[in-house]
Structure 1
């Protein structure tokens, strides 16, 4: 549920920034906001995946020690 909320929030923020860039005299700060929010979203997904992988490695190590 939480990744879906973050995804929808990212879409909303980037959409508003891109619409704002259409009428702005200098659209580059709004482009930076729109792309920056996507970078933050992707990095948050990556950090969560790394945490899950670390947990899986720990469980695997514990199970390997129990088998020996």
Structure 2
């Protein structure tokens, strides 16, 4: 559920930044915000997945010792 909320927030922020870039004299900072928020979202998904894999590996190691 938290991933869906973060995804919708990412869409909202990047959409507002892109719309703002349309009427701006210098749109590059707003493009950076729009792309930067997507990069942060992808990185957050990767770290979550890495934590899950580490947890699974730890459980497998514990079960192998038994």
Q: Tell me the TM-score normalised to structure 1 length.
A: 0.96
In structure 2, list runs of 5 or more residues that go unmatched: none
- Quote the Cα distance in structure 2 between the aligned partners of 1:5 and 1:53: 22
Q: Which portions of structure 1, spanning 4 or more consecutive aligned residues, are displaced by more than 2 angstroms? A: none
Pairs within 5 Å for 1:1-68: 1-66=1-66
In structure 1, list runs of 5 or more residues that go unmatched: none
Aligned length: 66
Higher Rg of the two aligned structures: 1
